[in-house]
Amino acid sequence: MVPWAPETTALTPDTDASPSGTAAASESIRHVYRSMQDIVFETLRDEILSGKLPPASSLNTLSLSTRLGVSRTPIREALNRLISIGLVENIPYRGCFVRKLSVDQVIEVYYVRAALAGVCARLATRRITDAQKKKLAALCEKMEKDKPGEDLKAMLKQNFEFHNIIFKAAHAPSIEALAVQYYHQSEQFRALSLELPGRFEEACREHRLILNAILARDAEQAETTSREHQLNTARRIARSLGYDGEI
């Protein structure tokens, strides 16, 4: 048995033991932990959106901890984030499960998205910067040149970048946060919508209309085209799921 000895802190010659050095070390530890939490969140989010974790899948913290090789703390934090964006639900006395949205819920989410996207586009006509205009134009051109279905992950990434620029250009942090939240809440259906025949090309044309309205500083047209863009996505998704009602 090794005899007990008081615990000491080993310092290398380069270690800064000053208050500022300790603060820097603490900040570094927090950054590493935050990065791990982000990695776990993004991994689980992508598995849900890709269907690797299908609706109703159980998300047990111990099993996930073992599979991903991390402690249960970042797993719990990631699950809380997934619950907040609507991809996971926590059922009392049963645990966390991948959420399954009904057609009615899909339509409801897209109604909210349409309202938020419309407001952001309206505000962006007055507040967007020249740099943001250039980024939007470049993204439109890039997506218009892409071949549908060639790289779904890249398509989804560019689609988010396009909308996120408009969210930020609104310069309304509370609205931006809600717009991003509902964007992610509808992600599991967006991949489906872009794979529907003709939808990607249709979405690119709609993006161009939104951009043109923003560049023309036409608030009414920017809001209308943004709202219709979201509702058209909802219509295509709903029809693919067998819904033939009006949206």
- pLDDT (tens digit, 9 = 90+) per residue, 222-246? 999 999 999 999 998 888 777 889 9
pLDDT computed for residue 103 by the predictor? 86
186 is a domain residue: yes
On whether both 136 and 76 belong to a single domain, the answer is no
Last residue of a domain, one of 35, 68, 98: 98
92, 108: one domain: no
Helix (H, G, I), strand (E, B) or coil at 8: coil
The model carries a pTM of 0.65
Whole-number pLDDT of residue 5: 35
6 belongs to a structural domain: no
Burial code (b: 16+ CB inside 10 Å, e: under 16) for 230-243 equals: bbbbbbbbbeeeeb
> 141 is written with which tokens?
């051109």
Below-50 pLDDT ranges, the chain? 1-17, 25, 29
Q: pLDDT value at position 198?
A: 87
Same domain, 110 and 129: yes
CB-CB contact of 233 with 198 (8 Å): no
Which helix (H) or strand (E) segment holds residue 128: the answer is none
Q: In the listed set 41, 65, 98, which residue is the last one of a domain according to the structure?
A: 98
Mean pLDDT computed over every residue of the chain = 84
Residues 131, 234: one domain?
yes
Q: Which token pair is 191? A: 């991949």
Tokens of 116: 């938020």
